[in-house]
Amino acid sequence: MDALEGLVRLARKAREEPTPVFGVAEAVRLRILSEDQSPESVTLIPLGLFGGLSALAASVTLALAVQFWSYMTSPIMELVAPLPEIRLW
Amino acid sequence: MANAYCQCWPAEGTIESPVALLYNTFVEPVDWSDVAASVQGDDEAYGRLVRRYEKPITSLLWRFTRDPVQCEELVQQVFVEAYFSLKTYRGDAPLLHWLRKIATRTGYRFWREKAKGPQETSLPEFDVLEEIEAVEEDRIDPAEAATVLHTLLSRLSPDDRLVLTLLYFEECGTKEIAERMGWSRAKVKTQALRARRKMKEIAEREHLLERLGWTL
């Protein structure tokens, strides 16, 4: 006989084992009551709002990054270009 | 018969829907009425459901632990979880199937939690085999057979153990195991193949057949 066949025979016998009876209905009712009465967990920022804010922040960051990138592409031009906001004389 | 129930089912598209009841061939009307009442907060109705299905759920969870205290705790967990998930029960399978799914996952979680902690020494536990004399299959005590099988299976990882437990103890097919666990059928088949191989190695290493006197 194969070892696995032996296990199958054991399992067949094991299925005949009587199962304990606990009578959990009352305990379940009490647990449900206690969980129902427990204060609700504080809902943090809803996921949609959090996602929206993250997207907005990412857009602003991207816009600024693009501007600064255009400056960075030609730093020599930055040296010779007049600064429009500052009067030099 | 079904129309009689429809009188008291208010909202359409929810579990209380008469449409769901009319087209439902899986769920016993008595279960439907108790589920609907439980969703409305009727404790008594849920108590009836618990009493109706406690035995098969205990029987299933007895495969996950042989400690009566732990088993009772798991049974309670299953019914508490089921109560809070009752609104999601669509009735596309008998209530017992749905409860068994919750119970299987609860048992699996229990094993995984247990596997994280320090492992039990398995050799003293394995001494149970020493107590079994070479006897005919019919003369083996079912409780002893269950303990031996449980001890052998406890040497496997939770995934392997789950698949073999459901295959051997519960006589589930791979499709049913996949449905219960939300796994693909291919995963279950591969897992079962691997688990059987490991189980065979363990059984041979422990000389299971010789100890049981089943070598002929």
Q: Under an 8 A CB cutoff, do A13 and B47 touch?
A: no
Dihedral sign for Cα atoms in the order B13, B14, B18, B19: positive
Q: Is B39 left (phi over 0), alpha (psi -120 to 50) or beta?
A: alpha
In a domain, A9, yes or no: yes
Q: CA end-to-end span of chain B, whole Å?
A: 58
Q: Of B4, B179, B168, B183, which Cα lies nearest the Cα of B93? A: B179
On the question of pLDDT at B177 being above 90, the answer is yes
In a domain, A58, yes or no: yes
In a domain, A41, yes or no: no
Interval B19-40 mean pLDDT: 75
Q: Under an 8 A CB cutoff, do A25 and B51 touch?
A: yes
Flag whether residue A30 sits within 8 Å of chain B, measured between CB atoms: no
For residues B50 and B47, what is the distance between their CA atoms, to the nearest angstrom? 5
Q: Under an 8 A CB cutoff, do B152 and A31 touch?
A: no
CB of B81 within 8 A of CB of B106? yes
Q: Number of folded domains in chain A?
A: 2
Q: Under an 8 A CB cutoff, do A16 and B142 touch?
A: yes
Select the more confidently predicted residue: B12 or B101: B101
Q: Under an 8 A CB cutoff, do A19 and B59 touch?
A: yes
Domains along the sequence of chain B with CATH:
12-117 (1.10.1740.10), 120-216 (1.10.10.10)
In a domain, A42, yes or no: no
The pLDDT assigned to B125 comes to: 44
Q: Are residues A30 and A51 both part of a single domain?
A: no
Q: Under an 8 A CB cutoff, do B208 and A23 touch?
A: no
Q: Under an 8 A CB cutoff, do B200 and A4 touch?
A: yes
pLDDT digits (tens, 9 = 90+) for A14-39: 999 999 999 999 999 999 998 877 65
Neighbours of A51 (CB within 10 A): 11
In a domain, A54, yes or no: yes
Give the residue numbers spanning the domain of A25.
3-35
Most confident of A70-74, B3-7, B120-124, B141-145: B141-145
Which 31-70 residues of chain A touch chain B by CB within 8 A? 31-32, 35
Interval A56-70 mean pLDDT: 86
Q: In this complex, how many residue pairs, one in chain A and one in chain B, have their CB atoms less than 8 Å apart?
A: 108
Q: Under an 8 A CB cutoff, do A29 and B46 touch?
A: yes
Complex ipTM value: 0.74
In a domain, A13, yes or no: yes
Nearest C-alpha in B relative to A16: B142
CB of B130 within 8 A of CB of B211? yes
Residues of A in contact with B199 (CB under 8 A): 3-4, 7
Taking the CA atoms of residue B11, residue B76, residue B43 and residue A40 in that order, the dihedral angle to the nearest 10 degrees is -70
Looking at every residue in chain B, the average pLDDT score rounds to 81
The shortest C-alpha distance from A52 to chain B (Å) reads 29
For residues B159 and B192, what is the distance between their CA atoms, to the nearest angstrom? 9
In a domain, A63, yes or no: yes
Residues of A in contact with B83 (CB under 8 A): 28, 32
Flag whether residue A80 sits within 8 Å of chain B, measured between CB atoms: no
In a domain, A87, yes or no: no
On the question of pLDDT at B24 being above 90, the answer is no
pTM for this structure?
Answer: 0.71
Residues of B in contact with A10 (CB under 8 A): 140, 145, 148-149, 212
CA B54 and chain centroid, separation: 12
Instruction: Write the CB contacts of B15 (distance below 8 Å, at least 6 apart in sequence).
Output: B35, B36, B39, B86, B87, B89, B90, B91
Q: Are residues A29 and A53 both part of a single domain?
A: no
Residues of B in contact with A30 (CB under 8 A): none
SS (H, E, C) chain A: CCHHHHHHHHHHHHCCCCCCCCCCHHHHHHHHHHHHHCCCCCCCCCHHHHHHHHHHHHHHHHHHHHHHHHHHHCHHHHHHCCCCCCCCC
Q: Under an 8 A CB cutoff, do A13 and B212 touch?
A: no
On the question of pLDDT at B84 being above 90, the answer is yes
B145: which 2 tokens?
């057979």
